[in-house]
Amino acid sequence: MLWLTSYYNKILMNELFEIVLHTDDYLMRIVAENVIEAYLILFLVIFLETGTIFFPFLPGDGLLFSAGVITASTSLNIVLLVPILILAAVLGNLSNYFVGSFFGDKLEKSQNRFVQKYLMKYIIQTRHFYNKYGAKSIVIGRFFPVIRTYIPFFAGLSGFKYHIFLVFTIIGSALWVPFFTLTGYFIGENAWVKENYLIIFLGLIIVTLMPFFYSVIKLAFTRKK
């Protein structure tokens, strides 16, 4: 049974790397083979990118854009696709939140001296941050790779109020998914876009990652000073 699980995990990782490295070609092939499977794979990738802390490398923005471009010229249905991906984004955030909440509860109840003396200090600081900026960070963070993977986890870890988290997760997802998917859908048939798709795709990733790297560099210099 273990070898079977390992086999399927290997297949899953191969599929994910194919999506990362050859997003457009991979999606076109899957849509041509099985449209239902294409919906499921798109759902899974968006869910994994925000649903676990292990997949921040998945191309959320680029994938949504690619899905929109491909939908414009294939049997994928944009009216069906957008709600499916919004649902994936919401469920991914909720899953990540509950995992964080589980670990947060465990840490708070822990009698371990190291946990109580050092880790809880950072959890309390995180809690203050979410109480002050939580709603904003959940919505705006949706548009930034890597950051959006960890925001729900730390929201749960710090004990951020679930009902507020849920409302702003839905708002953020309902803005993020249509923005990139519909942009791809409406400009995907443009001849210039088709000829320069790879450049646009890479540019989209770079632009959305810039605020993250800026924050990391700024933090590094602040700490150095």
DSSP letter assigned to residue 116: I
State residue 2's pLDDT score: 42
Average pLDDT, the chain: 77
- pLDDT of 88 > 90? The answer is yes
- pLDDT of 5 > 50? The answer is no
Using the structure block, give the residue that is written with the tokens 């109020």: 161
**Dihedral pair phi/psi, residue 58, rounded to 5°:** -70, 140
- pLDDT of 7 > 60? The answer is no
- Tokens at 38, concatenated: 């294409």
- pLDDT band of 82, cuts 50, 70, 90: very high
- pLDDT of 191 > 80? The answer is no
Task: State the Cα–Cα distance between residues 205 and 209, nearest whole angstrom.
Answer: 6
Please compute the mean of the pLDDT values over residues 135-155 and round it to a whole number. Answer: 85
List of E strands, the chain: none
State residue 168's pLDDT score: 93
> For 66-77, how does the pLDDT look when each residue is reduced to its tens digit (9 = 90+)?
889 888 888 899
- pLDDT of 125 > 70? The answer is yes
Q: Which residues contact 184 (CB under 8 A, 6 or more apart)?
A: 64, 65, 66, 67, 68, 69, 70, 71, 72
Say what percent of the chain tops pLDDT 90.
20
State residue 99's pLDDT score: 92
Please compute the mean of the pLDDT values over residues 141-162 and round it to a whole number. Answer: 86
- pLDDT of 8 > 70? The answer is no
- pLDDT band of 109, cuts 50, 70, 90: confident
- pLDDT of 35 > 70? The answer is yes
Is 100:152 a contact under the CB 8 Å cutoff? Answer: yes
Note the residue count of the chain.
Answer: 225
Torsion of CA 52, 58, 62, 65, to 10 degrees: -50
